[in-house]
Amino acid sequence: MTTLSSPETLRVQPRRSRNPRGVPRLSTVGKFVVLAVAVFLTLGPVVWTVWTSFRPQVAGGDVDPGFGAYVDVFAQTDVMLLVWNSVLVTALCAIGQMVSAALAGYVFARVEFRGSGLLFGIVLATMMVPLQVTIVPVFMLIRGMGLSDTLLALILPAIPTAFGTFLMRQYFLGLPDDLAEAAAIDGAGPLRTFTSVYAPLALPGLAIVGILAFNTHWNEFFRPLILEVSEQNFTMPLGLVSLQGNLGTGSVATVLAGVVLSMIPALLVFVIGQRPLREGLTAGVGK
């Protein structure tokens, strides 16, 4: 015999929460703890660096807060020359990588030719070779070209970029093929199609390449240490080494003040470029 249930009995009872209101769940507390530890590990050294740069030690062990360490940086090194060399090298490396990555990525993505897959695989394979392996052949080539101990020794080898080529190839592959067909109907060749159609659409990807290149070469220390000898060609990271003094006897606050000064351009680039960087990284999500 079938019994009909009343609407009241068929109504689904809401599931009661086991946690009283106002009490955070254990998973939420764990997330906050993990984030707090990550923030401390990330920002802790930066805060300590800035704090120490404003509190230099004086004779007798006392602390004299102020800008004395920053004054010592300008007194002991030619900061303007170091900044100029770093800006020149970093800007030309970033622009060169943007141009080379855009051209190479477009060719691998839109131009069909025999052996393109093999050549692209060889380009990607160079990403597996560490810089320490190629620095000696690069140094010999630079010396053979008569460019040793010059800023061009830092710029020319940094223009080709395997990662940038891979990134721009993937970016161009995500753009519609109809644009190239429409440009071909209008009589545009591959170069005109690239400069007038695809290059403007690839600006977010180019922004990623440029920002990453700036961050890499502004903080670069190893290549300038090997390829540069004269102090007039030192970049910012290499020039700050002289603040350590003989056998590391220099003031720690002075060294950290130089580090803070070197962080300011990178921070400005991050603040200005975070929007195009975010748009470039998320450009293909909604497709």
pLDDT, tens digit (0-9, with 9 covering 90-100), for 180-232? 888 888 888 778 888 888 888 888 888 889 988 998 999 899 999 999 988 89
Q: Are 224 and 140 in contact (CB under 8 A)?
A: no
What are the sequence ranges of the domains in the chain?
69-281
**Domain 69-281 listed as CATH 3.10.105.10:** no
CA 282 to chain centre: 16
Query: Pick the residue with more confidence: 92 or 244?
Result: 92
Query: pTM of the predicted model, to two decimals?
Result: 0.78
Determine the Cα–Cα distance for residues 105 and 165; give it in Å rounded to an integer.
Answer: 5
Q: What's the pLDDT at 255?
A: 87
Q: Which amino acid, 145?
A: M
How many percent of the chain have pLDDT more than 90? 30
Among 194, 254, 235, residue whose Cα is nearest residue 85? 235
24: left (phi over 0), alpha (psi -120 to 50) or beta: beta
151: left (phi over 0), alpha (psi -120 to 50) or beta: alpha
pLDDT tens digits along 93-150: 999 999 999 999 999 988 888 888 899 999 999 999 888 889 999 999 999 998 888 9
Range among 15-24, 60-69, 169-178, 186-195 with highest mean pLDDT value: 169-178
Q: What's the token pair of residue 69?
A: 């360490």
Q: Is the pLDDT of residue 280 over 80?
A: no
Q: What's the pLDDT at 84?
A: 93
Q: What's the pLDDT at 28?
A: 82
Q: Which amino acid, 201?
A: L
